[in-house]
Chains A and B, each alone.
Chain A
Amino acid sequence: MLRTINKNQVLILTNIPRVPASITSVLRGISRRHKIPLSTLKRNAQILKEFNLIAYGDPPNFSGVELTELGRFISNLTVGEEPTVHGNMVQTRSGFRPLGTVIKDLRKTVLRMIAEAGSGHLGASLSAVDILAILYMIKMKHDPKNPSWKDRDRFVLSKGHAAPALYAVLSEAGYISPDRLMTLREIGSQLQGHPDMEIPGVDASTGSLGQGLSIGVGMALASKMDGSGSRTYVLLGDGELNEGQIWEAALTAAHHGLDNLTAIVDRNGYQLTGRTEEIKAMDPLADKWRSFGWEAMEADGNDPASILDALNACDLTTGKPSVIIAMTTKGKGISFMEGNKYSRKTPDAQELKRALKELT
């Protein structure tokens, strides 16, 4: 058995893409980024293979490399430390890039999209960027080349007004061509103000708050019926939890023991007209979900490592659905936008410039 696992092996384990890629191309990418000789990486990959942590075909056929179940487990453990997650190489449309850089770029894209469109929910989008990035770049099983793959994991943006963040991530993952992003909310564009299933990669049409969890329940039920291993993730706003339908769906999910369903609450503490606790108090929020039969946990929703930890913990929950109360900051990442000031305000040219500068 492996007693310890060296740094190079961790690098390989945490950089195995979700979609099939040849072992040589993956190792070459790591080699270039981290200036490690390819031969060293090849030797370590061979060791990981012998210990049944990764699987790939031998030369000359080099079939797609993937993590074994054990490998996935170990990989999840090792990426639980912040520096590793931030530096974790994730597959984007422009090749493998460090997650931290990708997330910064996503925030810039969201800012530009909303400024260009002239309207949109900036604060709500920025608050959810990290969660969306972890889901699409690391956690979810999906294939941008085959958006309708039956056994993919599903994602429902129930707080549909964060659509710009979803579109930015879908573009980075390879679903939406980047040159279309700036057509957000333009007449004739596919990029509607709220998510629309016409867009490749969008699993649910939303925009009317309170409805996404029910849709997610349906998807999780179908996955169980089909014996598919697919999981469903639903992102909810904390103000959105005011809607009664959320709690109806929560009961349905618990009743059916949907352990393949994970809800994430973007707990930024604000809704449109003020603080959630001043409008309709939600605390103690985790206890509410628990009393509805859910496994509930808290995470720092703007910290990739914390989000990933919580998502991995959800995989281990059996017999009931799980919810992550993700503590976030509305407008996260741009000092003068944090809080509720940019809930519906669109940045002007000057503000956009200042905001982009903060992200460099």
Chain B
Amino acid sequence: MAQNASQLEHFGRALVDLGLINEELVVLDPDVAASTKVTYFAERFPERFIRIGISEQDMIGVAAGLAASGKTPVACGFAMFVACRSWEQISSSVARPELNVKIVGSHSGLSPNADGDSHQTYGDVAVMRVIPDMKVVVPADAPEAVEALGAIVDTPGPAYLRLARGATPVAYTEGCEFTLGRANVMRDGSDASVIANGVMVPIALEAAGSLAREGISVKVVDMHTVKPLDTDAIVKAAAETGAIVTAEEHSVIGGLGSAVAETLVEKRPTPMERVGIMDRFGESSRSYSALMAKMGLTSDAIEEAVRETMRRK
């Protein structure tokens, strides 16, 4: 698990494989191709690659038109600009008519650490999740990102895939099992459950490992699909362990933490803590891990949250 890999690098190469199978697949780029790694697709299929320029809202509308004409457009850009800035276009032009547009938000969470809070994105899952019928996927690492991309391309209708900038810890192996809307249990446990997604999955596994040394047995669930949410997996974890912690590189408002809380409140009230960005903006940092630590997204924070929920059982 010490190994790191770039989600975008793997995503970029996987797009080429999908392009070979699916001739209707087209990729749109709002002037960030070198960062999102859609350059591989551009080189292989220049005639199916559209350089739209720095106009993300325009790009979503164009994708809607392409989809309405039978194409499978994949619109990739920085999460802040492609998901948040273009939210209304996504809702109105893409989701309302249930068009087959795949939106990929890179540089999510705190991962554009040096660029600062104009680029860091902690509300994208919240705003995507609120759109009816939108599928929202937050893969844990590079291998899972590849499987998630395949799954959303195979499933008709709008979808949002959230990816990180840079290399992140790897929790899966290539070709791992992935079913849209079905959570993966990464580790079994009986005292508490951590439900995590994105880069917080490997960090949750680390926390579970160190709690095990204290004699605390923690179940870790990778809730890669925030919508449609695997509510059965949540209720099951609550029933088995009686304490739930969520962990996400996103605001605790509106994201995975909120989604899990909504489920528990309605189906099985359980002591719960949320680890995530606590309703504040980030800042520039030359180091990603230093920023994660400052914003409270660490193994320690998860461990403390687990102990807290167990006290409240």
Residues of A contacting B32 in the complex (Cβ-Cβ under 8 angstroms): 272-273
Residues of B contacting A244 in the complex (Cβ-Cβ under 8 angstroms): 55, 57-58
Residues of B contacting A303 in the complex (Cβ-Cβ under 8 angstroms): none
Q: Which residue in chain B gives the minimum CB-CB distance to A209?
A: B54
Min CB gap A205→B, angstroms = 7
Interface residues on A, range: 35 or more
CB within 8 A of A194: which of B115, B286, B290? B115
Q: Which one of B16-24, B92-100, B116-124, B216-224 contacts A?
A: B116-124
Bound together, the chains give a CA A130 to CA B291 distance in angstroms of 34
CB within 8 A of B284: which of A193, A209, A278? A193
**Chain A positions 88-147 with a Cβ under 8 Å from a chain B Cβ:** 117-120
Indicate if B33 sits at the interface (CB-CB under 8 A). Answer: yes
Interface bits A184-217 vs B (CB < 8 Å: 1, else 0): 1111110111101000000001111110000000
Q: Which residue in chain A gives the minimum CB-CB distance to B51?
A: A279
Contact (Cβ within 8 A) A119 B31:
no
Contact (Cβ within 8 A) B115 A242:
no
Indicate if A7 sits at the interface (CB-CB under 8 A). Answer: no
Indicate if B29 sits at the interface (CB-CB under 8 A). Answer: yes
Q: Which residue in chain A gives the minimum CB-CB distance to B294?
A: A187
**Chain B positions 31-56 with a Cβ under 8 Å from a chain A Cβ:** 31-35, 51-55
Contact (Cβ within 8 A) B31 A273:
yes
CB within 8 A of B54: which of A120, A194, A210, A278? A210
Interface residues on B, range: 20 to 34
Min CB gap B138→A, angstroms = 22
Q: Which residue in chain B gives the minimum CB-CB distance to A121?
A: B115
Residues of A contacting B29 in the complex (Cβ-Cβ under 8 angstroms): 273
Contact (Cβ within 8 A) A273 B51:
yes
Bound together, the chains give a CA A311 to CA B89 distance in angstroms of 38
Contact (Cβ within 8 A) A119 B54:
no
Min CB gap A72→B, angstroms = 37
Min CB gap B313→A, angstroms = 37
Indicate if B190 sits at the interface (CB-CB under 8 A). Answer: no
Bound together, the chains give a CA A271 to CA B115 distance in angstroms of 17
CB within 8 A of B116: which of A194, A279, A344? A194
Bound together, the chains give a CA A108 to CA B85 distance in angstroms of 35
Residues of B contacting A196 in the complex (Cβ-Cβ under 8 angstroms): 116
Contact (Cβ within 8 A) A185 B55:
no
Min CB gap A74→B, angstroms = 42
Contact (Cβ within 8 A) B116 A186:
no
Contact (Cβ within 8 A) A242 B287:
no
**Chain A positions 249-293 with a Cβ under 8 Å from a chain B Cβ:** 271-274, 278-280
Indicate if B14 sits at the interface (CB-CB under 8 A). Answer: no
Bound together, the chains give a CA A210 to CA B118 distance in angstroms of 13
Contact (Cβ within 8 A) A119 B34:
no
Task: Point out residues on A near B: beta carbons under 8 Å.
Answer: 117-120, 160, 184-189, 191-194, 196, 205-210, 239-240, 242-244, 271-274, 278-280, 344
